[in-house]
Each structure stands twice: as C-alpha cells, then as structure tokens.
Amino acid sequence: MNKADYINKQIGDWQAMDFVIGYEIHLSNNHDQDCEMCRMLAGKYPKRFIWHGWHDKCTCFVTSILQDPDEFDNQELDEMKRTLEGHIPLKLEPNELIEVLPINFLTWYAKNINEMIEQDMFPDFVRNNIDLIKCSFDYYRKRI
C-alpha cells in the first residue's frame, strides 16, 4: 500500500464517522521549507475534500479533527432517548462541521488558476474537488 492509498483509506474511514468534523493537513517535520505550495495549503479541510498530497514528493500528513466531546455525548444521549421513545433516530450533524475550504486554499487557487488553464494541467486535488472549490468561493462571497 503506497502513501496515497493509505491516505485514501484513512480519509474514507473518517468520512463515515459522524464525530469527525474535518481534517487538518500539516507540514511534515522533515519538510522542505522551500515548498511554498505546501506551506500555503496547510490547514483545516472538510471531510469531503479529496486529498492524496499536494505534489509527487509531498511529505505533508493529515490528522482528523474531532467533534467537541460534550456535544457528541449530548447528541448520542438525545439519539438514545428518541430510540427508547420509539422514534426514528435523527442523523445529527455536529455544530462545528467544517464545510468550506480555508481561505489560504482559495487564495492559492486564485493565484494559480490562470497558469493551470494555460498549461491545461490541474492537480488532482483541484480536479477532484472542483464543486467544493466553487461552493467555498460562493460561501465567502456571500459574507463579504
């Protein structure tokens, strides 16, 4: 299993876990400090963001971001009460679910989109997440 396969499995597992609200992409301790792309794109991402690395030699790593334990406990308790009362349990979403890309990602994207179009070369993380990129731009536009 290579690194991309491992990350795919890890992120796939997290997507199925209700208490995971997103994940954070970090620079490696052994990272080439001259990699502007990795430095600029490190941050907190939605669970649905598909990521295998920023580039071929990327040594960045990913960790899950968990829901607040008290909120999770309260939701679990509410779900148990509903079940005991004979109601269908609700699919509850955590209040702090990460749903949009970080500003630093959108800044990088805006800075590099013309070059990507001219060269007709889009990184996997752009191709795989284009709908999320559009939604994130729309989200921030509405807040300006």
Amino acid at 131: D
Tens of pLDDT, residue by residue over 85-143, are 887 766 656 668 899 999 999 999 999 999 999 999 999 999 999 999 999 999 999 98
Residues 6+ apart with CB under 8 A from 113: none
Domain count, the chain: 1
Q: What is the helix (H) or strand (E) element at residue 90, kind and residue range?
A: none
| Residue entry with tokens 């992409």 | 25
In this prediction, residue 86 carries a pLDDT of: 81
Domain that holds residue 95: 3-142
pLDDT given at position 88: 77
| Residue that wins the pLDDT comparison between 4 and 99 | 99
Q: Positive or negative, the Cα torsion across 4, 129, 63, 29?
A: positive
